[in-house]
C-alpha cells in the first residue's frame, strides 16, 4: 500500500524543493544522452544538407554528410541513429522494388556509417511507404492494402538491411504477423544478433505530416492508413498489439506518436516490463519549434520537459529530432532542469 504522509506540519513537501541540490537529489526521473535516438533523413547527392521546410532545424543529408553527422553524434555519446530515406519519385513504384535494393539509400548510408563510425548503433525502418507510389506501408490492390503479400516483401527488406549492417530493425508497417516473419528470416540467415524494435503501438495519427514531407511521401499517399494503424481512441488494442509482437520475437517495443500517448507508454512499461521506447514524432517537434519561434513558449525548457515526461511515463529511450541539441546541452553539464 502507498505510504500515507504525516499530517502538516510534520510533513512539509516543500522541504525537498527548496534548493537546486535538494531537487536534484530527490528527482525520481532523469534524462541522459544514452536515452536518445536521433532520427536522420538521407538523400541522393554529395555534400548536401537540405532543410526540411516543415521541420525547422532538420536536414536531409547526402550520405557523406550523414557520415559526418553520425561521427559527431557518436562523439556526443548518442548511442543510436535512425535512418530514413528521401526517395526520388522515379524510384517509387507499385511493387516497391527499391525497398529490397541492397544499394538503396539507407543501406548505402548504413555501410558508410558503419565503416567510419563502427560503434554507433543503426536503426532502420522496415516498411514500404518510402518506396511505394501509393504512399502506403504495404502493397495496394484496388485500394486495399494487402497484408500477406506485403509480408514477403518486408522479409526481403529486413534481410538486405541486416546484411548492410543495421543493428536494430524497426518494423513500422503494422501488418499482422510481420514480427514473426522477420524474426524467423533473421534466425534462418545468420542474423540472430539483429534486434527488433517493433513499432507495436503505432496509431493512425495526424501528427505524422511533417515526416511525410521529409521523406517525400506527402503527395504520394492515396487515402489514409486507418485500416492498419491503431485507432487513436484504443488503448487496450495497443496493448494487445504489444503482446502479439513480443510473442512473435520483438526485443523492444515502441509507442508512436509520443507525448499524446504517454498513457500507452506507462501501461506498456507497467504491464510488460520490457524495453519501451517512444517516438516524439515530426508533428510534436514542429509544434515546439513553431511555438518557440513565435515566442509563445520557452523553447529550450519545453524540449527538456517533454523528454523528461517520456522517462517519467516509463520509457527507456526516446526517438527525437532534438537528440543532437539535447546531447550537446547535457554534455556541457549545465543545470538543465
Name the packing angle between helices 262-272 and 299-312 (round to 10°).
30
Q: Among the options 91, 256, 269, 311, which is catalytic? A: 256
For 149, the grid coordinates are: 503479400
Query: How is residue 150 annotated by DSSP?
Result: H
Is 256 catalytic? The answer is yes
Is 114 catalytic? The answer is no
Nearest 5°: the CA angle 268, 273, 279 is: 45
Look-up: residue for cell 497484408? 147
Q: Among the options 91, 92, 114, 202, which is catalytic? A: 202
Report how far Cα 113 is from the mean position of its chain's Cα atoms. Answer: 19
Q: What stretches of the chain adopt beta strand conformation (E)?
A: 36-43, 49-51, 59-62, 80-85, 121-126, 139-141, 144-146, 168-171, 195-202, 252-256, 276-280, 317-320
- C-alpha distances (whole Å) from 163 to each of 102, 122, 150 are 8, 12, 20
Active site residues: 202, 256
Amino acid at each position: 500500500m502507498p505510504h500515507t504522509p504525516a499530517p502538516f506540519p510534520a510533513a512539509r513537501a516543500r522541504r525537498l524543493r527548496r534548493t537546486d541540490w535538494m531537487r536534484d537529489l530527490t528527482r525520481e526521473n532523469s534524462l541522459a544522452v544514452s536515452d536518445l535516438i536521433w532520427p536522420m533523413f538521407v538523400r541522393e547527392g554529395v555534400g548536401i544538407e537540405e532543410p526540411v521546410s516543415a521541420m525547422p532545424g532538420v536536414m536531409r543529408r547526402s550520405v557523406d554528410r550523414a557520415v559526418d553527422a553520425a561521427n559527431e553524434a557518436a562523439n556526443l555519446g548518442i548511442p543510436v541513429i535512425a535512418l530514413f530515406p528521401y526517395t526520388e519519385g522515379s524510384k517509387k513504384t507499385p511493387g516497391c522494388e527499391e525497398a529490397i535494393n541492397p544499394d538503396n539509400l539507407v543501406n548505402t548510408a548504413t555501410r558508410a556509417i558503419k565503416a567510419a563510425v563502427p560503434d554507433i548503433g543503426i536503426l532502420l525502418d522496415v516498411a514500404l511507404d518510402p518506396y511505394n507510389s501509393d504512399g502506403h506501408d504495404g502493397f495496394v490492390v484496388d485500394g486495399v492494402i494487402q497484408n500477406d503479400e506485403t509480408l514477403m516483401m518486408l522479409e526481403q527488406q529486413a534481410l538486405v538491411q541486416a546484411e548492410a549492417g543495421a543493428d536494430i530493425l524497426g518494423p513500422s508497417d503494422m501488418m499482422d504477423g510481420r514480427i514473426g516473419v522477420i524474426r524467423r528470416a533473421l534466425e534462418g540467415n545468420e542474423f540472430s544478433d539483429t534486434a527488433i524494435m517493433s513499432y507495436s503501438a503505432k496509431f493512425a495519427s495526424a501528427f505524422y505530416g511533417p515526416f511525410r514531407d521529409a521523406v517525400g511521401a506527402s503527395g504520394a499517399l492515396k487515402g489514409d492508413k486507418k485500416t492498419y494503424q491503431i485507432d487513436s481512441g484504443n488503448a487496450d488494442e495497443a496493448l494487445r498489439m504489444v503482446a502479439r509482437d513480443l510473442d512473435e520475437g520483438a526485443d523492444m517495443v515502441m509507442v508512436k506518436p509520443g507525448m499524446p500517448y504517454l498513457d500507452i507508454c506507462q501501461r506498456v512499461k507497467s504491464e510488460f516490463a520490457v524495453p519501451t521506447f517512444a517516438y516524439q514524432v515530426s508533428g510534436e517537434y514542429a509544434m515546439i519549434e513553431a511555438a518557440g519561434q513565435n515566442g509563445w513558449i520557452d523553447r529550450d525548457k519545453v524540449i527538456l520537459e517533454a523528454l523528461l515526461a517520456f522517462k517519467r511515463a516509463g520509457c527507456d529511450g526516446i526517438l527525437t529530432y532534438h537528440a543532437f541539441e539535447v546531447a550537446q546541452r547535457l554534455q556541457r553539464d549545465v543545470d538543465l532542469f
